[in-house]
Amino acid sequence: MGVELRANNLIKRYGARELFNIEELKVQEGDSLHLSGDNGAGKTTLMKILAGLDKPCSGEVAVTPNMKSKWSTRLHPKVVYLHQTPYIFSGTVAANLAYGLKLKGLANKQIKEKVSHALAWARLEELADHSAHSLSGGEKQRLALARAWVLAPGLLFLDEPTANLDQQSVTSVADLIDKMLEGGAAVMVSSHQKNPVTELCYRQLLLSEGQVTEFGHQRKVRHHA
Ligand SMILES: Nc1ncnc2c1ncn2[C@@H]1O[C@H](COP(=O)(O)OP(=O)(O)OP(=O)(O)O)[C@@H](O)[C@H]1O
Ligand SMILES: [Mg+2]
């Protein structure tokens, strides 16, 4: 069963400035959303709040199944947020992929298998033993996606996943995100402009002047494997 998220009456303020006040936002299993908005509109802040990494001043984010609670409880294990600049741990590419699996307490044999699948999934096999910090921007983004994929996320937040990437890397990243969607994950992508990743999205949201407006919703249903 997939993950569903519902946010109600989310208000975020910085000092006297109200960044946004969002009455309702729902993300359902199989959804793919493009969150657009100008620089500074609040996209990163909103996605972090939805992912449970930041707190609203008031309002609630509920994720089902498993959890129906206020933001202050633990992060939902099926919700993953990828930073605008991929966060890469020191150590090898393979070690980066193993990191979350170790935290989950998987046996070494299972970790090895999953890491090798993830390397193949993101076509990073040849870089497995390289220091992750030495990767190019595009390779780091693929590594970040593979590290998310290996944890089988139900809902994935991608903050500007193609910023600073060349055309070829954008295409590879879009292919990986498409595979995530085919696998059944719901995905929300923030980007201030259209690109091959946002073209994968069926729901179009605009964050502007503190409000989210939905337009161009296409009811295309994905057939999951
Ligand atoms: N901790 C903070 N304290 C005060 N203001 C903040 C803080 N974090 C963010 N802001 C402000 O909130 C606004 C929204 O920031 P946010 O990073 O969410 O925008 P964004 O839509 O993601 O922009 P971009 O397209 O440039 O990534 C900005 O004006 C920013 O300066
Ligand atoms: Mg941002």
Q: Please tell me the distance between residue 130's alpha carbon and the centre of ligand 2 in angstroms.
A: 29
Query: What was the pLDDT predicted at 25?
Result: 96
| Pocket flag, ligand 1, residue 192 (CB < 6 Å) | yes
Residue 170: inside a domain, yes or no?
Answer: yes
Q: How many domains does the chain have?
A: 1
Phi and psi for 62 in degrees, rounded to 5? Answer: -120, 135
CB of 87 sitting under 6 A from ligand 1: no
pLDDT attached to residue 78: 84
Angle formed by the axes of helices 93-103 and 108-121, to 10°?
A: 130
Domain hosting 115: range is 30-58+68-217
Per residue of the chain (225 residues), give pLDDT as tens. Answer: 678 899 999 999 999 999 999 999 999 988 999 999 999 999 999 999 999 999 999 999 988 875 544 443 456 778 899 998 889 999 999 999 999 999 989 999 999 999 999 999 999 999 999 999 999 999 999 999 999 999 999 999 999 999 888 999 999 999 999 999 999 899 999 998 899 999 999 999 999 999 999 987 665 555 554
The candidate with the shortest Cα–Cα distance to 198, out of 30, 39, 33, 46, is 33
Q: Assess if residue 21 is contained within a domain.
A: no
Please state the pTM of the whole predicted model.
0.90
Q: What is the CATH number of the domain that holds 201?
A: 3.40.50.300
What confidence score (pLDDT) does residue 84 get?
Answer: 87
Report if residue 11 sits inside a domain: no
Asked whether residue 63 is domain-assigned, the answer is: no
- Rounded to whole angstroms, the Cα distance separating 152 from 145 reads 11
For residues 117 and 57, give the distance between their C-alpha atoms in angstroms, rounded to a whole number.
41
> How many angstroms separate the Cα of 219 from the Cα of each of 38, 72, 151, 205?
26, 33, 28, 14
Please report which ligand is nearest the Cα atom of 192.
1
